[in-house]
Amino acid sequence: MSEKLLSVEGLKVYYFTSGGTVKAVDKVDFSLYRGEALGIAGESGCGKSTLGYGLINLVPPPGRIVDGHILIDNVDVAKLNESDLRKKVRWRKISMVFQGAMNALTPVYTIGKQLAEPLTIHTAISYKEALNKVQEILPLVGLSPEIIRRYPHELSGGMKQRVMIAMALILNPDIIIADEPTTALDVIVQAQILNLLKKLRRELGVTLILISHDLSIMAEVVDRLMVMYAGKVAELGKSDVIFSAPSHPYTQGLIASIPKLGEKKLNYIPGLPPDLRNPPVGCRFADRCPMVMDICRKEEPPFFEIAKEHFVSCWLYR
Amino acid sequence: MMATTDIKELVKNIDQNNLMIVRELKKYFPIRSGFTDFIFRRPSRFVRAVDNIDFDIPKGKIFALVGESGCGKTTTGMTLIRLYNPTGGHVLFEPKEDTLKDLREISNGRIMEYDGYIDLATIPGKWLKPLRRDLQIVFQDPYSSLNPAYKVYDILEEPMKVHGIGDSKDERYDMVLKALEEVKLVPAEDIANRFPHMLSGGQRQRVVLARALLLNPKFIVADEPIAMIDVSLRAEILITLLDLKEKHNISILFITHDLTLAGNISEYIAVMYLGKIVEMGKSDVVIKKPLHPYTKALIKAIPTPDPSMRKKMKDIWIKGEVSSAVNIPEGCRFHPRCMAYEEHPEIQAKCRESEPQLIEVEKGHYVSCWLYK
């Protein structure tokens, strides 16, 4: 594979709530290579969004990064102070399209102003120059440049999501994180946004991290897939391999539960994920696993590399 | 606005296999006009949310209404059960024996009956109360459809009190517990004493389901019942819904934007676009052999769980964006977005000028498109 852009080592992100410490991301390791698309999949509450926030060191309180390293260009993002993060990392190196962010556009500013503002703050250019730059970027995301004079309420959901993607692109970052970019969009608009992500990868060489619960969307876009369960990585590998032959029982369950067009079957994984304030000893999936063994309840499984670049955290592959 | 179909014609041959027979149903919402509109006597304008639709819902079956946001699917559901008053049309419905008896009583025998069916669209609002037992709804958002100040028990008891079901508090308590067990909320006694905020989204939606079932309905509108539920819990809730439908022989109008889901659980599918049904038929047929260009576009847009296709752009067989329901395009309302329109110059004039009717192209498969005439 090509150049390593990002490497995450032993990352822990916890939320310190009054009810106890929620271990939302618990010792996660992975790398991201230039030009690839990595998917982070899992059920609600598995820590996939928290991991996304963690990567730009923007975990909402009461959460914070407790331990681990996030290395971008040999700089540890996890250790940087807020001002350096703003000046050097966020949106310059790595930007994020937040979940539901299209509803966070302020209704009182034009689209042009909202897109130009970060440029004037982060670079030394004037507002007028910034607006010109915005007009250059808008066609890349499939919007007409005249849209800078419009207000958010004049745009459809799909157009607003395109504005958010333009905003993520505006400082020309290496990496873009897209957190559930198509949730709440209609199926046709969803297909259009996915096509846009594909186009940006092809034409601009954008490196993408896609966070979603929907494995069908993942299959449409990503080269490698990371499946998370209860704050841990369950399986990580090439998406071709994972979709055709999933190895972790959890991934197998997830893939079997993808609803298929024209079938009358409804599959699901019975049970609920564990309480992350008090995760079980051993494998966190043990209670729902159809292939559970004695060791699973005693010891946490390490990562087994079952094939090149294919990691599974399950005692079956010991 | 009067329906053109005469009710007398309509009730001549009622197919007793259908629980609901919907004809020329319309729901228009007026747009508030301003002062200048009044001065210049501009005509009042309407959002034509449901614009003249016909369909039948068979007894004990699931009928899915599929479409994008704003196509009028939710308005249709709400209008059928008279949460909205229809602007026009007829909805024939066969109430339960008891309900019909109560209806006769409340209306002093003035209720119009047609072989045990009544016209839901035209009966006066003050006679609706007994019908509420037969017609229930499960809303999309379980977080806003349960009163946060009530315990689950109170939430479930309330409709029974309103409709005079159960003679004593104890009897009603037993019924509540039974209903909770039926929707697989156990231990029922524990759940009954909780407040909604102590339940997960999936559990709340089960409470909503229990509330709908307690009145022993004949017909349920399920409006995107799993859209706000965690993915991992969706299938479980759907299976519960399917089991209950079988057990109590309920007909369901299942409203969803997800064609895959509609195909998974329903027997019939109707696809709506901008207030009109564009295609309707057995769900397998509509999904495996779609005829209308809009249905085809929807099916093509569904993501496929096959990573080998990821390098290619997805073929999007539609152009532009949905038109406004205030200024519905002339002719076929889909033609400005239609790709088949581009490919078939010979029909373009027709598409622009006159509206296609929903016609039966093959047995039980209806399409409204000039390509099939």
- Predicted confidence (pLDDT) at residue B343 exceeds the cutoff of 50: yes
Tokens (6 digits) for A279: 């995760």
Q: What is the pLDDT averaged over residues B273-279?
A: 96
Asked if the structure places residue B199 within a domain, the reply is yes
Band of pLDDT at residue B227, cut at 50, 70 and 90 = confident
User: Which residues sit opposite B298 in a β-bridge?
Assistant: none
Same domain, B204 and B63: yes
- Predicted confidence (pLDDT) at residue A223 exceeds the cutoff of 90: yes
Cα–Cα distance for residue pair A276/A230, rounded to 1 Å = 7
Q: How many Å separate Cα A154 from the centre of its chain? A: 28
Asked if the structure places residue B283 within a domain, the reply is no
Which of A36, A210, A212, A266 would you mutate first to test chain B, the one with the most B CBs within 10 A?
Answer: A266
Q: Sheet harboring B46-58: ordered strands across?
A: B46-58, B18-30, B88-93, B118-119
Q: What is the pLDDT of residue B3?
A: 44
Short-list B132, B23, B10, CA closest to B86: B23
**Tens digit of each residue's pLDDT (9 = 90 or more) over B57-75:** 999 999 999 999 889 999 9
Same domain, B261 and B133: yes
Same domain, B151 and B238: yes
Same domain, B239 and B357: no
Whole-number CA gyration radius for chain B: 22
**Tens digit of each residue's pLDDT (9 = 90 or more) over A142-152:** 999 999 999 99
Asked if the structure places residue B1 within a domain, the reply is no
Cα–Cα distance for residue pair B208/B206, rounded to 1 Å = 5
- Asked, as a colleague might, if the bond just before B187 is cis with ω within 30 of 0, I would say yes
Task: Out of A191, A240, A264, name the one closest to residue B307 (CB).
Answer: A240
Asked if the structure places residue B2 within a domain, the reply is no
Band of pLDDT at residue A199, cut at 50, 70 and 90 = very high
Chain B neighbours among A 258-317 (CB < 8 Å)?
A: 258-270, 272-273
Closest CA in chain A for residue B265 = A264
**Tens digit of each residue's pLDDT (9 = 90 or more) over B116-155:** 999 999 999 999 999 999 999 999 999 899 999 999 999 9
Name chain A contacts of B308, Cβ cutoff 8 Å: 240
Q: What is the pLDDT of residue B60?
A: 95
Name the pairing type of β-strands A207-212 and A175-179: parallel
Which region among A42-56, A161-175, B5-19, B209-223 has the lowest average model confidence (pLDDT)? B5-19
Tokens (6 digits) for A159: 């157009």
Coil, strand, or helix at residue B226?
coil
Cα–Cα distance for residue pair B320/B336, rounded to 1 Å = 8
Kindly determine whether residue A259 and residue B257, on different chains, have CB atoms separated by under 8 Å: no
Band of pLDDT at residue B5, cut at 50, 70 and 90 = low
Asked if the structure places residue B3 within a domain, the reply is no
> Would you call A154 an interface residue with chain B, using a CB distance cutoff of 8 Å?
no
- ipTM reported for the complex, 2 dp: 0.88
Q: What is the pLDDT of residue A17?
A: 92
Same domain, B204 and B294: no
Asked if the structure places residue B85 within a domain, the reply is yes
How many other CB atoms are found less than 10 A from the CB of residue A142? 16
Same domain, B245 and B296: no
The CATH number given to whatever domain includes residue B114 is 3.40.50.300
- Domains by residue range for chain A, with CATH: 4-93+175-189+203-317 (3.40.50.300), 102-172 (no CATH)
Name chain B contacts of A216, Cβ cutoff 8 Å: 302-305
Count of domains for chain B: 2
Rounded (10°) CA dihedral A280, A285, A290, A291: -80
Q: Which domain holds residue B178?
A: 16-278
**Tens digit of each residue's pLDDT (9 = 90 or more) over A125-134:** 999 999 999 9
Same domain, B154 and B274: yes
Same domain, B238 and B340: no
Tokens (6 digits) for A282: 């051993």
How many other CB atoms are found less than 10 A from the CB of residue A20? 13
Kindly determine whether residue B265 and residue A194, on different chains, have CB atoms separated by under 8 Å: no
Kindly determine whether residue A222 and residue B239, on different chains, have CB atoms separated by under 8 Å: no
Same domain, B296 and B239: no
Same domain, B363 and B238: no
Same domain, B205 and B296: no
Asked if the structure places residue B306 within a domain, the reply is no
- Predicted confidence (pLDDT) at residue A1 exceeds the cutoff of 60: no
The percent of residues in chain A predicted with pLDDT above 90, rounded, is 77
> Would you call A195 an interface residue with chain B, using a CB distance cutoff of 8 Å?
yes
Cα A143 to Cα A166, A253, B72: the distances in Å are 9, 39, 28
Same domain, B209 and B329: no
